[in-house]
């Protein structure tokens, strides 16, 4: 009987330890997920029509780094994985 009670206590501590590890990793992954972002949009002219083939530039004001893309046939653009 003594061994059964002791084993249940050890299992409970193991369960708490595993739960704590899962919580730690889930929190660290959510913090990691906040380091990247995406930017997308649509280019339109003054009449409201979309503009295909327009060059869109993104400039980081802190570093001066630039990224360029061209709008699609539907006038949309996207800058994935921004830091």
Over the range 12-41, which residues count as b (16 or more CB within 10 Å of their CB) and which as e?
eeeeeeeeeeeeeeeeeeeeeeeeeeeeee
pLDDT surpasses 90 at 83: no
- Reported as a single tens digit per residue, the pLDDT across 21-79 is 777 777 665 555 567 889 999 999 999 999 999 999 999 999 999 999 999 999 999 99
- Residue 19 is predicted with a pLDDT of 80
pLDDT surpasses 60 at 7: no
Whether this model's pTM surpasses 0.75:
no
């Amino acid at each position: 009987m003594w061994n059964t009670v002791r084993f249940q206590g050890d299992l409970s501590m193991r369960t708490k330890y595993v739960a704590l590890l899962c919580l730690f990793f889930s929190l660290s992954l959510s913090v990691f997920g906040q380091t990247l972002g995406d930017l997308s949009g649509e280019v339109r002219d003054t009449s409201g029509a979309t503009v295909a083939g327009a060059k869109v530039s993104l400039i980081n004001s802190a570093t001066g780094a630039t990224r360029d893309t061209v709008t699609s046939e539907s006038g949309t653009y996207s800058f994935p994985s921004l830091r």
